[in-house]
């Protein structure tokens, strides 16, 4: 059976892509990637996902509004969900590109941006397949609130290749994710993994616990700040 590479929105609907095999539901359950996609689709389709409306990372606010704030430039919101980070950045004069593989989330992001009267460029894309020519290059700020921590090893490899290719020199990459732990949900990552994966092109400037982002006190979110060499 061929695994569909089309950007179907609803993995349960066979009609979403008839070209690639008889049962997308079967594919969803046999491919980790498709299962991941299915879970996100269910979260967005049936209600409010648990991460919706979480506070922005404290470090992001410092970088944007603090005494040594970054000058506004090109920003990328990786796995933007319904766009809260993108809207925050666009309100502060950043030129924002936002992508997510869930169109249902992007539709909400566009509606929220419209209501906030800000402009953001949105794309439906899978970070593990996206190319620099599709998303653009020269981003001074790349923000990831909760995408990388859910990817497989191969997905993480592709992610590092992409962000390294599209970042401007001295760009800032801010990653927010859970620590590695057995849980229902994302697998997470720890500092040694971040250091190892980004060693070739990035300097890890620091990381800190940001408990406000997680709704579970026993499972806090950590924020990593990296600079492109
Ligand atoms: C935990 S949510 C966080 C959403 C948003 N960043 C926020 O802070 O509210 C992770 C987001 O990443 C998206 N995502 C997960 N894997 C992805 C992939 N491989 N490519 C693109 N988006 C992905 C999901 O659809 C979801 O919107």
Q: In 3-state terms, what secondary structure has residue 74?
A: strand
Please give the Cα distance from 10 to 25 (Å, whole number): 10
Cα 26 to averaged position of ligand 1 atoms, centre (Å): 23
pLDDT tens-digit readout, 179-219: 999 998 999 999 999 999 999 999 999 999 999 999 889 99
Pairing, β 74-78 against β 167-178: unpaired
Is-contact 177 149, C-beta < 8 A? yes
pLDDT tens-digit readout, 26-44: 444 445 668 889 999 999 9
Over residues 79-84, the mean pLDDT reads 98
Nearest C-alpha neighbor of 147 from the set 79, 48, 227, 216: 79
Cα 82 to averaged position of ligand 1 atoms, centre (Å): 9
For the chain, the structural domain boundaries read 1-47, 58-228
Over residues 41-54, the mean pLDDT reads 94
- Which of 3.10.20.30, 3.20.20.70, 1.10.10.10, 3.40.50.150 is the CATH number of 58-228? 3.40.50.150
Q: Bridge partners of 207? A: 224
Ligand 1, pocket residues at CB < 6 Å: 40, 51, 79-81, 84-85, 100-102, 105, 126-128, 145-147, 150
pTM above 0.85, yes or no: yes
pLDDT of 158 > 80? The answer is yes
């Amino acid at each position: 059976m061929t695994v569909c590479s089309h950007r179907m929105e609803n993995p349960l609907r066979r009609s979403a892509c008839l070209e690639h095999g008889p049962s997308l539901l079967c594919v969803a359950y046999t491919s980790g990637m498709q299962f991941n996609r299915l879970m996100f689709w269910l979260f967005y389709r049936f209600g409010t996902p648990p991460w919706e409306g979480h506070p922005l990372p404290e470090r992001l606010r410092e970088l944007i509004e603090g005494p040594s704030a970054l000058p506004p430039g090109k920003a990328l919101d990786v796995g933007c969900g319904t766009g809260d980070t993108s809207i925050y950045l666009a309100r502060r004069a950043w030129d924002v590109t936002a992508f997510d593989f869930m169109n249902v989330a992007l539709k909400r992001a566009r509606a929220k941006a419209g209501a906030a009267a800000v402009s953001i460029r949105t794309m439906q894309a899978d970070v593990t397949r996206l190319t620099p020519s599709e998303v653009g290059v020269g981003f001074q700020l790349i923000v990831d609130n909760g995408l990388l921590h859910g990817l497989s090893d191969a997905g993480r490899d592709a992610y590092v290749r992409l962000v390294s290719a599209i970042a401007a020199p001295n760009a800032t990459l801010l990653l927010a994710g859970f620590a590695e732990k057995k849980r229902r949900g994302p697998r997470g990552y720890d500092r040694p993994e971040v250091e190892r994966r980004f060693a070739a092109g990035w300097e890890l400037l620091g990381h800190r616990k940001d408990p406000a982002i997680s709704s579970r006190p026993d499972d806090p979110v950590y924020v990593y700040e990296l600079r492109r060499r």
